[in-house]
Amino acid sequence: MTLLGKQFVMLLERCSSEFITNPDLVIDSVTSVATTCGLNIIEICEHRFKPEGLTFILLLSQSHLAVHTWPEHRIMTVDLFVCQESFDIESFLNRLLGISGALCANKVCVFEK
């Protein structure tokens, strides 16, 4: 059977203040992790909330990656849907942990078909 895709939702908590309060750093870092892990970015769409917070979406040739931040709580969520059977989600999550300085993370596979 052909894999249609997998969806993962990740919650990164206690991110470093320097990371989570800098929207440009968040976008650049997550984009870099995505490309390093073999994801092909087609387009980026972002919205910066006032006074703080960020939502951005990477439209991928493999599907999408959406990121939401709550700097006041030092939290970042990542929703990744990938139509690539060989994608290494553990490597992706470990790289996110490294760039964000998060002290803990949870990952759930929401969909696999």
Q: What is the pLDDT of residues 35-85, one digit of tens each?
A: 999 999 999 999 999 999 999 999 999 999 999 999 999 999 999 999 988
Contact residues for 18 (Cβ-Cβ < 8 A; gap 6+): 25, 101
Active site residue 73: no
**H-assigned helices in 44-110:** 89-100
The per-residue pLDDT of the chain, averaged, comes to 94
Active site residue 68: yes
For residue 4, the SS3 value is coil
Annotated catalytic residue: which of 83, 86, 91, 109? Answer: 83
pTM: 0.93
How many Cβ atoms sit within 10 Å of the Cβ of residue 102? 22
Which of 9, 11, 2 is closest to 73 using CA atoms? 11
Pick the CATH number of 6-112 from 3.30.930.10, 3.30.350.10, 3.60.90.10, 3.40.1190.20: 3.60.90.10
Active site residue 100: no
Annotated catalytic residue: which of 16, 29, 64, 68? Answer: 68
Annotated catalytic residue: which of 16, 29, 63, 64? Answer: 63
